[in-house]
Amino acid sequence: MTKPRRRQAGEGTISEYQTKAGPRYLIKYKNPREGEGPEWIVRRGFLTRKAAAEALGDINAEVRRGAHVVPPKITTGQWLDQWLASLRLAPSTKSSYAKNVRLHIKPQLGQIQLARLTGTKISALYRDLERDGRQDHKEGSPLSARTVRYCHTILKAALREAVSQGLMATNPADRANPPAAREAKAPEIHPWIAVQLSSFLEWATEQECPDVVAWRVLAYTGMRRGELLALRWRDLNLDAGRVSVRRSVGVVKTKGQGERIIEGATKSGRERSVDLDVRTVEALRRYRMARAGLLLQLARDDALIFGDIEGGYLNPDRFSRRFTRALATCASQPDAPALPTIRVHDLRHTHATLLLAAGVPVKVVSERLGHSTVTITMEIYQHVLPGMQAEAARRFAEIVGGDA
């Protein structure tokens, strides 16, 4: 068996040091500089002596080839900016990352040298954010556990890339303590029951609300808001009663540049077809005729179905606010039905919940919603599944009959 080659003089050293998390190892090596004396470089944070030895061996091989580059002394904030600029994500997602980095991560960690960032410092950031970390109109109030965990996801990904690029030996976010997943679970869903949805749409139709057809399509297909507002007439086959969901729009807010409406792929990145019921098809036929009555170009195949009067995108946030105002107006009527306050996104949840409660297979519901896996559908709508399980048990007993 061949023994490992011993390091020669000048090839560096490995030393152990103690941290609160236990022993760690550092390497120290000479980096030759043309026209100057050698520079001693220290890299810390290796979990085992073996990992330190492997890193030192790789570095010495690079030095011998003249290919070694000393990691720059970069701050965490500088690295986050570089990392964000390199991302290839949907514009709305990238904007969300940038906002959370700017408001919640960089103020406390931005000036720390990237190589000196520790899990303890990151954990301290999370606790501060949970205590008084909001930076919007409610500045100084606690940031939700869900948002803090989202910040952790962003930071962990950025530091993982820093390790990959050789700027850090290990990822300190792996040793941080973000809020637990159970603390950061999504808010409870409050969908409408069938009679509530029917009552609201009937009232909105009687009031001739401009968005009533859009609300109906959301509720009867389970589409996302951005997918609905990106639909064009060419995506709709009224004869076949089918709509193709191919793209989505979102609001991208950039500091100093205001907000823009950007079109991109759907959330799953895939197209899907959703079948329509007869009454929704009829409502869309009437709506197209009404749009043509305003301006012929608003009914052309390449026109947005739910665009503004000039043919441009509706602002998604304003679209949501109009729904909220209409719901408040409806609920304030003397003879109004009892309508719990919901968001426009909850029309999607209403669609899914009513179908699942009626026994429609989860896979079919998942396909209509555009989830990438059935598991996502089951996790989001698990509150409906216990009743389905009970029904399955009852049906099985009826099929078999009698007692065992």
pLDDT at residue number 210 = 94
Residues 248 and 126 in one domain: no
pLDDT at residue number 3 = 47
- Indicate whether 107 belongs to any domain: yes
pTM of the model: 0.72
- Indicate whether 141 belongs to any domain: yes
CATH of the domain at 335: 1.10.443.10
Strand partners, 282: none
pLDDT at residue number 297 = 95
Residues 168 and 224 in one domain: no
The total of structural domains in the chain comes to: 3
Domain boundary among 175, 203, 237: 175
- Indicate whether 323 belongs to any domain: yes
Residues 216 and 150 in one domain: no
pLDDT at residue number 72 = 67
User: Residues, the chain, total?
Assistant: 404
pLDDT at residue number 2 = 44
Residues 211 and 119 in one domain: no
Q: Is the dihedral of CA 303, 308, 314, 315 positive or negative?
A: positive
CB contact at 8 A, 56 and 49: no
Domain boundary among 120, 145, 175: 175
Residues 257 and 151 in one domain: no
pLDDT at residue number 37 = 65
Identity of the residue numbered 267: K
Residues 268 and 364 in one domain: yes
Q: Which of 166, 159, 219, 153 is nearest to 191 (CA)?
A: 219
For the beta sheet containing 39-46, the strands, ordered from the edge strand earlier in sequence to the opposite edge, are: 13-19, 22-31, 39-46
- Indicate whether 181 belongs to any domain: no
Residues 232 and 368 in one domain: yes
pLDDT at residue number 141 = 83
CB contact at 8 A, 116 and 170: no
- Indicate whether 356 belongs to any domain: yes
- Indicate whether 2 belongs to any domain: no
Residues 46 and 131 in one domain: no
Q: Report the C-alpha gap between 28 and 5 in whole angstroms.
A: 18
Residues 216 and 359 in one domain: yes
Q: Report the C-alpha gap between 190 and 180 in whole angstroms.
A: 24
Residues spanned by the domain of 300? 194-392
pLDDT at residue number 333 = 85
- The tokens for 147 are 């948002």
CB contact at 8 A, 327 and 314: no
Residues 208 and 328 in one domain: yes
The residue assigned the tokens 């290839």 is 88
pLDDT at residue number 402 = 57
Q: SS3 string of the chain?
A: CCCCCCCCCCCCEEEEEEECCEEEEEEEEEECCCCCCCEEEEEEEECCHHHHHHHHHHHHHHHHHCCCCCCCCCEHHHHHHHHHHHCCCCHHHHHHHHHHHHHHHHHHHCCCEHHHCCHHHHHHHHHHHHHHCCCCCCCCCCCCHHHHHHHHHHHHHHHHHHHHCCCCCCCHHHHCCCCCCCCCCCCCCCCCCHHHHHHHHHHHHHCCCCCHHHHHHHHHHCCCHHHHHCCEHHHEECCCCEEEECCEEEEEEECCCEEEEEEECCCCCCCEEEECCHHHHHHHHHHHHHHHHHCHHHHCCCCECCCCCCCCCCCHHHHHHHHHHHHHHHHCCCCCCCCCCCCCCHHHHHHHHHHHHCCCCHHHHHHHHCCCCHHHHHHHCCCCHHHHHHHHHHHHHHHHCCCC
Q: Report the C-alpha gap between 252 and 273 in whole angstroms.
A: 27
Q: Between vectors from CA 384 to CA 380 and to CA 390, what angle results, nearest 5°?
A: 140
Q: Report the C-alpha gap between 126 and 105 in whole angstroms.
A: 9
- Indicate whether 184 belongs to any domain: no
pLDDT at residue number 389 = 66
- Measured CA to CA in angstroms, residue 264 lies from 91, 247, 329, 370 at distances of 8, 6, 34, 15
pLDDT at residue number 393 = 76
CB contact at 8 A, 31 and 12: no
CATH of the domain at 165: 1.10.150.130
Q: Which of 337, 1, 40 is nearest to 196 (CA)?
A: 337
pLDDT at residue number 6 = 52
Residues 155 and 40 in one domain: no
pLDDT at residue number 394 = 76
Q: Which of 71, 47, 48 is nearest to 59 (CA)?
A: 71
Domain boundary among 147, 175, 203: 175
Q: Which of 343, 255, 262 is nearest to 93 (CA)?
A: 262
| Residues of the chain where predicted confidence (pLDDT) is lower than 50 | 1-5, 7, 404
Residues 199 and 280 in one domain: yes
- Indicate whether 399 belongs to any domain: no
